[in-house]
Structure 1
Amino acid sequence: MPQGTEAPAGTMAEGPTSHTQNQLQALAKLRVPFPEEQINPLPKITCSDCSRSRTKVCDNPRHQKSKCRECQNYITSAHLHLDYVGHAELTNRLLDADPLWDWEPLALDQRGLPQFDNDGGLWIRLTVCGHTRLGYGDAQGKSGPNAVKEAIGDALRNAAMRFGAALDLWAKSDLKAARAEHPQSAEDDGQSSTRKERPQAAPAARPELRQEADYSRPEEETRAAPLDPPAGESREQAFARLTEQYRNCWGHALALSQIRLEGKKLGLSKERVQGPPPESKWMTFDELLEGRITELSAQEGRAA
């Protein structure tokens, strides 16, 4: 395997490591946050029925296909956005850190080509400054030659995350929950997080923001994804919107995680909402969603 700048021997991820000052300085470049213009919105479908459908939209009338104004994709409304860094931007960052960086597949097939696993995923080794980390990527539902390129790019982002590249895109408080909720997806690969919104200037919390919830809808009807906040949205409007979203998404932990994160970014975590019956007790917005996400995760664990 080609080695990077001042590469010592025996520096596999599972073995002993040693660093020179130059290596440390070069690797530190991978940890520098990416500028906003290099961060793109990646759509993630939150409805399992839409995901399984050949047309990527289910029969639920709430899930209409249209052009999304943020990611510019023609996609079901049952989706949210994740921040991610593209292949070109990541390659440029790797070259800045180590012009001799390299990657190779973990296994080769009989033709000498990269070996994909039974799930269509690709394991790779990424070497930067003489140190190697493993990475895994998949094609995100694509097929043909584009699937191969997508899997390689996804694997590189995943492996580069092990070096700290784009790690700041993760919301620290939601990192563990996000990985549990997004197996084999871009966000699980660590190069993206729930889409960052630009919060409006918020006044102090006011009692009129208290909301009463309706938990009577069956879970199969609670799969709507959060919608993008309109420009110039007031604090009261944002809270009303998030309240409506979590009611609609009560049976979907992934969407609730997104709503909870947006509530934190908008400074609404401490607002009071009414919990589900029979107790129907009042609690903070964050406490309600945290409890429900934990409950859904436990249900999924028992089902598995």
Structure 2
Amino acid sequence: MKKHIQILVLFFTTSLCITNAQTKFDTDYGNNNAVGKYVLLNGAKIYYEEYGKGEPLLLIHGCGGNIKTMENQIDFFKKKYRVIIADNRGQGKSELKTDSLTYPQITKDWEALVNHLKLDSISILGWSDGGIVGLEMGINNKTKIKKIVAMGANLRPDATAVNSWAPDQVKQERAIAKEMKAKGDNSRNWSLDLQLFGLLLDQPNINSLDLKKITASVLIMVGDRDIIKNEHAVEIFNNLPKGQLCIMPGTDHGVPQNNPVLFNAIVNRFLTEPFNYAKQ
């Protein structure tokens, strides 16, 4: 069972176990009663927190994560922006309220939260699933988006986009989850795990040509030892009208958490400076 939990953490969030980590911040991000709120969006109660002042910056976490997963980004960017971060549907403190979780559903929840908060214009920093959601929000164009940072995002779940070792291990974990659910085991919410596995193994399904609909400036980021293949990151970049690409050396899918100084500096530069193509 311990091995099972470790693999879940690896693919759902990062290579670090956030549940066992000691917080290094004075604020208990993700459990801050002073600022935490619930709002009913598309039939589910979604939990979110806000920090800082200035232009709105949405932080969107990865599969199986929660607000606390991105505490390094909250603490850094709240000094510069109005940071808004939520527990995605079925994760953290937010309700699931579906038996078929999809990226379009999570995207609709975020679009509804933007409308609820009456945000005229936003930027987005998304990690893993959050990067996928950020790209989908850009494609949908239902709100004005200035800039999108998509870290470790993919357009499809197949071998052209994802390194094979990742889905192979997740498939093993899905088999375990099905077996445990069939046995009536109550040690975990296996039904939720199976839906999250479905996100990883069967989704997303974004046509690369749809990326051309994104009017915002976009920074595509991956680690050079990421779950996402480097060549897939290049494919995404090549289809963006206003794209930049950053493949970080010596890093993996967990870089926002295991090397936040590097990650935040790159993101901050992109968000702060006017978008332009490489100077000749």
Place the TM-score, normalised by the shorter chain, in its bin.
Answer: under 0.3
Larger Rg, first or second structure (1 or 2)? 1
Length-normalised TM-score, structure 1: 0.23
Length-normalised TM-score, structure 2: 0.24
